[in-house]
Amino acid sequence: MTATTVPTHQPVEGPPFAGGFVSPDHPTRERVLTDLRAVLGGSGVVAEPAALVAYENDGYMARAKPLAVCLPSTTDQVVSIVRIARQYGLPVTPRGAGTGLSGGATPIHGGLVIGTARMNRVRSIDAPNRRAVVEPGVVNADLGRAVEPLGLFFAPDPSSQAASTIGGNVAENAGGPHCLAYGVTANHILGVEAVLIDGTVIRTGELSTNVNAPDAPGYDLPGILTGSEGTLAFITAVTVRLMTRPEAVRTILALFDSLDAAGSATSAVVGAGIIPAALEFVDGVTIGALRGGGFTEYPEGVEALLLVEVEGLTEASAAEAAAIEAILEASGAKEVRVAASAAERQQLWRGRKGALGALGRLAPNYYIQDGVVPRTRLVEVLGKVQALARRENLLIANVFHAGDGNLHPNILFDARTPGLTARVIAAGEEILRACIDAGGTLSGEHGVGIEKAAYLDWVMTPADRTAQRAIKRTFDDGGWLNPGKP
């Protein structure tokens, strides 16, 4: 795809701005850059065409070039950038680490990208009250390392946590393997500091004036901003909830000769009233890619495996692990193993979280879906995905959060093959339709972005859409902030 292409299945509206926007060759461009450099210095503004290529897209396939990228380090600088953008009629697109998978950070209407890379401070850690105040550019895994010596952890753990940032996690309401037990990002956000499109700074929840008062009166603004994909405000700080590290952790590996058996075992575990900390599904295609990448802990000769983790008090976790092992064996697992050491457990999780990278051994491109289905319909929908792969002669790898039914079929392909990208996009749409028909929804953690904009009417009524647009108008009546993302 070219640098200005958006996949044709997405309805991308024209710029809703009264003054349009400043294109890269517009005569106003130099004045914009001069004003931005006065605020950020020369190194805080990226405008060279070659350098801008890195900011044209996230993990989704659509690309578009911004006028410039701004790299602020303070909330005050964000305020100044937003005011300059309004002065010149420029849209603003927030950007974290660029690991998103739905095009949320793609500046499809040009304008300014505001990156959070330099807003990367952990402002404070309050261990007794189990919370921390962090800036949006703090990497998820770095926050974990900062609080680990205190016996604490930040529960949301997307597979991209070694690179993805807290601001991006909040924008997309990211999940991860352990969201089965702990909930997604929204369940761990206590307060937000954000810059509105007119330059006003708001502080909500536990970042309001009385920072020691949880559950403050008023609307749940942190809840509204979490998952808003950068369309309502630019988040400059977050108060996160921290959890106490469990006393014991047990990681179970169950091997199966069929995808159906592994899917049925997932339902059996949860149906028995057991909610493990994590319950992950990895198919044979992905196992082969992982083994080729050196993850020999993932055995060959199986069609699927489940990675199940339980944690808590030593005695309770041991009893729960034993119950899960029995259910897995009764559900047809050919072998059930328990990680013998912390090192083995960590290596299993490195493999699971490195699965997408390993799939690069099989094809140069992938298109990952994010639909959610009821656990009782997993086997049915997996069957439809397999049938689609056979019918369209596509290689599809399945690695996903089985415990909460969040599917991640990865369609592996070579975008250089004429016509193949269009076939892949059509296959992705068919997978999402199957999820909806099974009683599921469009996204469990990747967000809507531009990828799923055309499908919102599948899951929202006209009244739903009207209410959503009313919220958008309240925060950003002109449509300046991350335009084109519903």
Q: Are residues 261 and 203 in the same domain?
A: no
Q: Are residues 213 and 255 in the same domain?
A: no
Domain finish residue from 244, 269, 288:
244
Euclidean distance between CA atoms 313 and 62, whole angstroms: 47
Structure tokens of 377?
């319909």
Q: Are residues 298 and 416 in the same domain?
A: yes
In this predicted structure, what is the pLDDT of residue 16?
39
Residues in the chain: 486
Domain finish residue from 437, 457, 472:
437
Question: Is 148 contained in some domain?
Answer: yes
Q: Are residues 229 and 340 in the same domain?
A: no
Distances (CA, A) of 110 to 105, 228, 295, 369: 11, 20, 41, 26
The pLDDT confidence band at residue 320, using thresholds 50, 70 and 90, is very high
Q: What is the pLDDT of residues 25-64, one digit of tens each?
A: 566 899 999 999 999 999 999 999 999 999 999 999 999 9
Q: Are residues 239 and 253 in the same domain?
A: no
Question: Is 220 contained in some domain?
Answer: yes
CATH of the domain at 238: 3.30.465.10
Q: Are residues 206 and 310 in the same domain?
A: no
In this predicted structure, what is the pLDDT of residue 23?
55
Q: Are residues 209 and 164 in the same domain?
A: yes
In this predicted structure, what is the pLDDT of residue 28?
84
Nearest Cα to Cα of residue 173 among 220, 225, 131, 214? 225
Q: Are residues 204 and 295 in the same domain?
A: no
The pLDDT confidence band at residue 486, using thresholds 50, 70 and 90, is confident
- Maximum separation of any 2 CA atoms in the chain, in Å: 71
Torsion sign, CA atoms 60, 63, 64, 70: positive
Euclidean distance between CA atoms 316 and 277, whole angstroms: 13
In which residue are the tokens 């008090």 written? 313
Structure tokens of 249?
């952790």
Nearest Cα to Cα of residue 174 among 163, 187, 158, 153? 158
CATH of the domain at 337: 3.40.462.10
Q: What is the pLDDT of residues 207-216, one digit of tens each?
A: 765 555 566 6
Nearest Cα to Cα of residue 63 among 450, 424, 410, 370? 450
For residues 345-357, average pLDDT: 94
Euclidean distance between CA atoms 299 and 156, whole angstroms: 28
Question: Is 382 contained in some domain?
Answer: yes
Provide the domain count of the chain.
2
Q: Are residues 296 and 313 in the same domain?
A: yes
Question: Is 57 contained in some domain?
Answer: no
Q: Are residues 267 and 370 in the same domain?
A: yes
Euclidean distance between CA atoms 108 and 91, whole angstroms: 10
Where does residue 18 rank: exposed (0-12), middle (13-18), buried (19+ CB within 10 A)? exposed
**DSSP β-bridge partners for residue 251:** 309
Q: Are residues 264 and 237 in the same domain?
A: no
Q: What is the pLDDT of residues 13-28, one digit of tens each?
A: 333 333 344 455 566 8
Domain finish residue from 211, 244, 277:
244
Domain that holds residue 135: 122-244
Torsion sign, CA atoms 111, 88, 169, 434: negative
Question: Is 311 contained in some domain?
Answer: yes
Euclidean distance between CA atoms 164 and 330, whole angstroms: 38
Question: Is 369 contained in some domain?
Answer: yes
Q: Are residues 184 and 311 in the same domain?
A: no
Euclidean distance between CA atoms 442 and 140, whole angstroms: 25
Task: Quote the pTM value.
Answer: 0.92
Question: Is 324 contained in some domain?
Answer: yes
Q: Kindly give, in sequence order, each residue whose CB lies less than 8 Å from that of residue 295, ignoring residues fewer than 6 positions away.
A: 347, 350, 351, 354, 358
Q: Is the pLDDT of residue 343 over 90?
A: yes
Q: Amino acid identity, residue 85?
A: A
Question: Is 419 contained in some domain?
Answer: yes
For the chain, the average pLDDT equals: 92
In this predicted structure, what is the pLDDT of residue 400?
95
For residues 349-361, average pLDDT: 94
Euclidean distance between CA atoms 425 and 62, whole angstroms: 12
